[in-house]
Amino acid sequence: MKEVAIQAQNHIEIDGIEGFFIRKVTKFGNSAKVDCPKEYINRTVYLVII
């Protein structure tokens, strides 16, 4: 699997977003999933819809 580089930041500005979700990364579930490195399982993330 290709490894994705993470850029650590504490501020981000995005124009033209439709909305966002705040969710916890899980290994399994009954909803749609987004590819995410497994070291982030059980961490809280923001999913931005553009």
Domain count, the chain: 1
Domain limits for position 44 = 1-50
d(CA 27, CA 38): 8
Print pLDDT tens along the chain (50 aa). Answer: 677 788 888 998 999 999 998 988 888 765 667 777 888 888 888 889 99
d(CA 37, CA 4): 8
pLDDT at residue 12, as a whole number: 86
